[in-house]
């Protein structure tokens, strides 16, 4: 009987009456295994002890051994030293019990170079399922593994660079605040000394100098906030976001006539309170600061329940942001108006984006109500424990 290492669904002869079982297995082995597979795969056959009895040309080409050098040897001749002893122990345990094994192995060629193979090992069974040896079919995956390693290294380098940049931003902004305070004090002293002799133009220049110092101080504060954003471990708390919006509406001190509305759909959810508060406060403050009619402007805050997050929507009826600028505003130091018109460092939305992404969410911009103003959407991930939502007037547990 021909040793049986065919797939289980081909062990039944589909040509009964025309071919005997032995004829079918022999023809299949010659035409399929030794034809297609032998031409495209790396193949080796061993006895039950793992001694190599056969290796095809692709095996020899990749390993750089001749047939005479490889036959009679064990696969340990290819051991690269990368995989632990337990890796091969588990593999031999499986195949000795008649199971198929598959895994990725790094081998060492005769010249000392390394190559990776995706390996499948199957038992070769004879009469009465007697184990005769093993067939190993491999695919060269060296290029793929090298690409994976390069991508992993680049990801690690990027992570390290980001951490170094954040540390630099923290140190630079922290260390610059001391001399800046000195400049601010000097300006105040000069102003006091020259109080009686300041002319209109000099007074204007002095006010301009003070506003520039204040702007730089705000910028350093925002750099510090950006470098710290999402860094601290914050315990989850049960947060009533509708109540939180009410608190923020007082905290941001909107102009008289400006209206901040918390929607009925705002949920109570278990999440980190501090970063969510910072995000909502920043977005509400932005809507007020950039509104073209602050004396009668509106901001609406609503929420939608998603499968694994809450989508918050902060909508205003201000001038909006043209679509071509909507990605740009999330960059650092980005403003759409000159800083002499609107005070700000251009860091606010960068901080918001970082906080949201650290929480596993995302932020995007859309049109306001009836095509006017701006809608800021962000998805905020949360803990499922203890959440309640009031959507369409019905309260339900999360």
Model confidence, pTM: 0.47
Both 248 and 376 in one domain: the answer is yes
Name the residue range of residue 105's domain: 41-140
Q: Confidence class of residue 340 from pLDDT cuts 50, 70 and 90?
A: very low
Last residue of a domain, one of 208, 228, 248: 228
Q: Which residue has the higher pLDDT, 177 or 203?
A: 203
3-class SS at 169?
helix
Both 115 and 50 in one domain: the answer is yes
Q: Confidence class of residue 398 from pLDDT cuts 50, 70 and 90?
A: very low
Within-domain flag for 183: yes
Tens of pLDDT, residue by residue over 278-318, are 889 889 988 898 888 888 899 999 999 988 899 999 999 98
**CATH classification at residue 104:** 3.30.450.20
Separation between Cα atoms, residue 123 and residue 6, nearest integer Å: 10
Both 106 and 152 in one domain: the answer is no
Within-domain flag for 326: yes
Our count of domains for the chain comes to 3
Both 314 and 244 in one domain: the answer is yes
3-class SS at 176?
helix
Q: Confidence class of residue 25 from pLDDT cuts 50, 70 and 90?
A: low
**CATH classification at residue 385:** 3.30.565.10
Task: Using alpha carbons only, give the angle 149, 153, 157 rounded to the nearest 5 degrees.
Answer: 170
Within-domain flag for 12: no
Edge-to-edge strand list for the sheet holding 52-55: 52-55, 42-47, 131-140, 114-125, 101-108
Within-domain flag for 265: yes
Which residues, in sequence order, are bridge partners of residue 240?
268
Rounded to a whole number, what is the distance in angstroms from the first to the last CA of the chain? 64
Task: Using alpha carbons only, give the angle 372, 339, 250 rounded to the nearest 5 degrees.
Answer: 60
Both 169 and 317 in one domain: the answer is no
Last residue of a domain, one of 140, 157, 189: 140
Within-domain flag for 363: yes
Q: What is the pLDDT of residue 227?
A: 60
Please report, for residues 208, 241, 348, 382, the alpha-carbon distance to residue 377 in angstroms, rounded to integers and kept in the order given.
Answer: 36, 15, 15, 16
Per-residue pLDDT averaged across 73-79, rounded?
Answer: 92
Q: Which residue has the higher pLDDT, 348 or 354?
A: 354
Could you tell me which residues come within 8 angstroms of residue 336 by beta carbon, excluding any fewer than 6 positions away?
A: 321, 325, 329
Phi, psi for 168 (deg, rounded to 5):
-65, -45
Q: Which residue has the higher pLDDT, 72 or 208?
A: 72
Within-domain flag for 31: no
Separation between Cα atoms, residue 162 and residue 173, nearest integer Å: 16
Both 246 and 291 in one domain: the answer is yes
H-only helix segments in 194-309: 200-228, 241-251, 273-289
Both 154 and 123 in one domain: the answer is no
Chain position carrying tokens 């490889």: 70
Separation between Cα atoms, residue 135 and residue 341, nearest integer Å: 76
Separation between Cα atoms, residue 158 and residue 171, nearest integer Å: 20
Q: Is the pLDDT of residue 391 over 70?
A: no
Proportion of the chain above pLDDT 70, given as a percent: 73
Q: How many helices (H) and strands (E) does the chain have?
A: 10, 14
Closest CA to 121 of 107, 105, 143, 106: 105
Both 113 and 207 in one domain: the answer is no
DSSP 113-140: -EEEEEEEEEEEE-GGG-EEEEEEEEEE
SS3 content of the chain, % helix, strand, coil (to 5): 45, 25, 30
3-class SS at 233?
coil
Both 213 and 167 in one domain: the answer is yes
Closest CA to 387 of 281, 305, 264, 277: 305
Count of other CB atoms within 10 angstroms of residue 306: 12
Could you tell me which residues come within 8 angstroms of residue 144 by beta carbon, excluding any fewer than 6 positions away?
A: 116
Within-domain flag for 16: no
Phi, psi for 4 (deg, rounded to 5):
-100, 105
Both 281 and 368 in one domain: the answer is yes
Per-residue pLDDT averaged across 50-61, rounded?
Answer: 91
Both 262 and 366 in one domain: the answer is yes
Last residue of a domain, one of 110, 140, 170: 140
Both 239 and 381 in one domain: the answer is yes
Per-residue pLDDT averaged across 386-390, rounded?
Answer: 49
Q: What is the pLDDT of residue 312?
A: 96
Q: Confidence class of residue 90 from pLDDT cuts 50, 70 and 90?
A: very high
Tens of pLDDT, residue by residue over 366-382, are 888 877 888 999 999 87
Within-domain flag for 34: no
**CATH classification at residue 161:** 1.10.287
Separation between Cα atoms, residue 200 and residue 203, nearest integer Å: 5
């Amino acid at each position: 009987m021909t040793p049986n290492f065919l797939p289980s669904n081909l062990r039944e002869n589909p040509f009964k009456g025309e071919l005997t079982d032995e004829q079918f297995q022999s023809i299949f082995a010659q035409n399929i295994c030794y034809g297609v597979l032998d031409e495209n795969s790396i193949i080796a056959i061993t006895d039950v002890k793992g001694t190599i009895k056969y290796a095809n040309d692709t095996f020899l080409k990749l390993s750089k051994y001749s047939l005479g050098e490889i036959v009679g040897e064990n696969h340990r001749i290819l051991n690269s030293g990368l995989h632990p002893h337990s890796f091969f122990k588990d593999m031999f345990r499986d195949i000795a019990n008649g199971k198929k094994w598959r895994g990725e192995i790094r081998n060492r060629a005769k010249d000392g170079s390394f190559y990776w193979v995706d390996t499948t090992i199957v038992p070769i069974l004879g009469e009465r399922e007697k184990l005769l040896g093993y067939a190993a079919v491999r695919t060269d995956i060296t290029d793929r593994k090298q690409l994976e390693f390069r991508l992993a290294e680049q990801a690690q380098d990027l992570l390290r660079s980001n951490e170094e940049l954040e540390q630099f931003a923290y140190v630079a902004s922290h260390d610059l605040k001391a001399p800046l305070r000195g400049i601010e004090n000097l300006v105040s002293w000069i102003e006091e000394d020259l109080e009686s002799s300041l002319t209109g133009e000099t007074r204007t220049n002095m006010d301009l100098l003070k506003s520039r110092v204040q702007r730089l101080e705000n910028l350093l504060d925002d750099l510090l906030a950006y470098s710290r954003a999402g860094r601290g471990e914050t315990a989850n708390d049960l947060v009533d976001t509708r109540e939180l919006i009410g608190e923020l509406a007082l905290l941001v001190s909107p102009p008289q006539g400006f209206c901040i509305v918390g929607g009925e759909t705002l949920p109570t959810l278990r999440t980190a309170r501090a970063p969510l508060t910072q995000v909502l406060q920043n977005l509400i403050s932005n809507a007020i600061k950039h509104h073209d009619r602050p004396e009668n402007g509106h901001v609406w805050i609503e929420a939608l329940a998603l499968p694994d997050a809450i989508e918050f929507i902060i909508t205003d009826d201000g001038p909006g942001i043209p679509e071509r600028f909507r990605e740009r505003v999330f960059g650092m130091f980005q403003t759409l108006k000159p800083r002499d018109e609107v005070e700000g460092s251009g860091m606010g939305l960068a901080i918001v984006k970082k906080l949201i992404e650290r929480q596993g969410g995302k932020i995007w911009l859309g049109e306001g109500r009836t095509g006017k103003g701006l809608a800021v959407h962000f998805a905020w991930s949360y803990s499922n424990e203890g959440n309640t939502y009031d959507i369409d007037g019905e309260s339900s547990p999360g």
